[in-house]
Amino acid sequence: MSKKVFVGLSGGVDSSVAAALLVEQGYEVVGVYMKNWSKDLPGFPCPWKEDYQDAKRVAVQLGIEFRMFDFEKEYFEKVVDYMLDGFRSGITPNPDIMCNQEIKFKLFLDVALEQGADMIATGHYAKVITKIQTKTDTNSEITKSLDTRVKPLTDGENVILNLLGVAKDDNKDQTYFLYRVTEAALGKTLFPLGDYTKPEVRELAKKFGLVTAAKKESMGICFVGKVGIKEFLQQYVTTAPGPIIDDKGKIIGEHDGAIFYTTGQRHGLNVGGGLPYYVVGKDMDKNEVYVTADIDDIRLWSKDFVINSAHWINDAPQNTDDLKVRTRHRATPLSVVAIKKLDNGNWHISLDEEVRALTAGQSAVFYQDGVCLGGGIII
């Protein structure tokens, strides 16, 4: 009997192709549209109805059952409130990471399993790597090939490990947004696009004749639509103008709310004077934003930083051999020279080179040998 897979159909080309590939591979596929947001914002209509219809059309094309899961209440409580609380406190949270943690790979997974699914699937560019670890004679080849990131086993004990592997397409790899997924969830998840590039996925969509083949990439906040963070925040937070202060203590402009600014930001300051200025800090209580025109300002560069709320998919890094970290999605991976757990549960990280504009609230995600180990929140 073939496994029943509930695939998240967003109405985009990636999830459409993921579903088509699963059908082609012989799975019993059920398409599911997650209704996480349906509210229109001023000037930014929510595209959920169009996306829902596109997802439904794909399901009809593929001849698969189609359902809708309404997660709006949970999405606001778990993702939107998290984002709003973070911005109000002066940090810059990542709602897409929280959506994956709380909605797609927790709530969606739980409901799918309750409704008879064996597994779930999404259109993320990532891989699940399954390994069997066995403790045998220390000289055997299988022991030599064991993953060093997992805890020792007793003699003869076997454990199936589900690792989060990076996608074939480096440019589209989405493991940065998936690092808070659990090992147990990975064991119930398929990523059909992990071995394809985006151009190859577009070609597959054409081959399958999918109605979403030419649909453009979605932008903006996860599920909300083509709306920027600033425009979204303006609907939920109260702000007031305040001073923009340079590194000499001089007021050089006025901002429209300190909450909207983040470390390293250059655009949108409107301070004039011809020089490019960079945000180096802010005081939420005083409603002040601090900037510098010196790109070499020490406040813009770091070789050491600390993370909290660490989440390791299998186990924390055991060594720094080929250990890399990304401090933003698509940022160049940086070599880690030291990583240490502190007494308070946070982790201290040292890099071999300086990184610009580390931002509190964003995530640092660690990689080793093509595997995403997990990460934490920069503080």
Q: Collapsing DSSP states into helix, strand and coil, what is residue 274?
A: coil
DSSP secondary-structure letter at 43?
Answer: T
Tally of CB atoms within 10 A around 302: 17
Residue type at position 227? V
What tokens were used for 13? Answer: 């080309």
Q: Which of 23, 29, 30, 99 is catalytic?
A: 99
Q: Which of 313, 356, 320, 357 is nearest to 335 (CA)?
A: 320
Assess whether 46 carries a catalytic annotation. no
Write out the DSSP string of 225-280: BS--HHHHHTTT-----EEEE-TTS-EEEEES-GGG--TT--TT----SSS--EEE
Is 211 within 8 Å of 61 (Cβ atoms)? yes
Residue type at position 231? E
What tokens were used for 50? Answer: 């169009």
Residues pairing with 255 in the sheet: 242
> Which residues in 248-321 belong to E strands, given as ranges?
251-255, 278-283, 288-292, 301-312
Q: Collapsing DSSP states into helix, strand and coil, what is residue 304?
A: strand
Residue type at position 204? L
What tokens were used for 121? Answer: 């699937």
Counting Cα atoms < 13 Å in the Cβ hemisphere of 127 gives 15
Q: Which of 59, 128, 222, 336 is catalytic?
A: 222
Assess whether 222 carries a catalytic annotation. yes
What tokens were used for 42? Answer: 């001023």
- b or e along 173-203 (b: 16 or more beta carbons within 10 Å of the residue's beta carbon)? bbbbbbbbbbbebbebbbbbbbebbbeebbe
> Catalytic residue positions?
99, 222
